[in-house]
Amino acid sequence: MTREEFLKRLEELLADVTAEERAEAIRFYEEYLDDAGPEQEAQVLAELGSPEKVAAIIRANVPGSRVQPEPAAQEAGPGPGAAAAAIPLPPCARPGAVPPPLPRKGMSDRTILLIILAVVLFPLWIGLAGTIFGIFMGVVGAAIGFFFGGVGTVVGIVAVLVANTPAAFAAGWPTGLFMVGLCLLALALGVALIAVAVWLVAWLLPACWRLTNRAWRALTGKKEA
């Protein structure tokens, strides 16, 4: 059995202990094999024995293990203590290890504090929520206004160019060029309004939402998914 196979199988067999203890055990044996070096890796793996044996010893010695060791899995000798003395163990499975704290039931102190603050500071946070909602709606309204204003400007300028360009040039080249220049400036303004509307919807609104979401998670102590 290779190093990778041993560690992978050991991690699978330790699925019933806590994630912290499992990670500690895998890290311990990775460092143990690293210290032995490639030339002594096979000898060390033979001394450790099968992953089933190592996992059974760890599960028997880990404080607060959620699953009791199966009798059939104790193939290392008369008991976990005797087998444990023959192989190195991670700190979580050594004698005197402190059991992991039990998960607390009910609401946490942070949740209780947030409820109290929500009740006491109701006028403040309801006003803040209204302000944030108003900002969102203002951004949405501005985006809609810019978009339709830009579209209207572009359509109007195109109509003016189509309808009046021949007459303007008929009155003289300077007059025609002046009118076309003004129309192009107005057309650029319309395109700019459309671009601003797209920017508001595509970047500013999502950025505001992410900022609000991060502030809420920081306040409540929740982690991002």
C-beta atoms surrounding 85 within 10 Å: 11
Q: Are residues 130 and 82 in the same domain?
A: no
User: Would residue 11 count as lying in a domain?
Assistant: yes
Q: Which domain holds residue 207?
A: 109-220
Q: Are residues 85 and 119 in the same domain?
A: no
Q: Are residues 122 and 82 in the same domain?
A: no
Whether the per-residue pLDDT at 33 is higher than 80: the answer is yes
Q: Are residues 181 and 117 in the same domain?
A: yes
Say if CB 146 and CB 157 are below 8 A apart: no
Q: What is the DSSP string of 147-211?
A: HHHHHHHHHHHHHHHHHHHHHHHHT-HHHHHHHHHHHHHHHHHHHHHHHHHHHIIIIIHHHHHHH
User: Would residue 68 count as lying in a domain?
Assistant: yes
Q: Are residues 159 and 119 in the same domain?
A: yes
Determine the pLDDT at residue 97.
Answer: 53
User: Would residue 98 count as lying in a domain?
Assistant: no
Q: Are residues 210 and 136 in the same domain?
A: yes
Highest mean pLDDT among 16-20, 80-84, 88-92, 212-216: 16-20
Say if CB 90 and CB 57 are below 8 A apart: no
Q: Are residues 156 and 85 in the same domain?
A: no
Which of residues 64, 93, 122 is at a domain's end? Answer: 93
Cα-flanking dihedrals φ and ψ of residue 50, to 5°? -75, 150
Q: Are residues 59 and 128 in the same domain?
A: no
Q: Are residues 84 and 137 in the same domain?
A: no
Determine the pLDDT at residue 76.
Answer: 41
**Mean predicted confidence (pLDDT) in 190-213:** 80
Question: Is the pTM above the cut of 0.75?
Answer: no
Highest mean pLDDT among 50-59, 125-134, 207-216: 50-59
User: Would residue 225 count as lying in a domain?
Assistant: no
Determine the pLDDT at residue 71.
Answer: 47
User: Would residue 30 count as lying in a domain?
Assistant: yes
User: Would residue 46 count as lying in a domain?
Assistant: yes
The string of pLDDT tens digits covering residues 147-186 is 898 899 989 989 988 888 888 888 888 888 888 898 999 8
User: What is the domain count for the chain?
Assistant: 2
Q: Are residues 39 and 81 in the same domain?
A: yes
Q: Are residues 144 and 179 in the same domain?
A: yes
Q: Are residues 49 and 120 in the same domain?
A: no
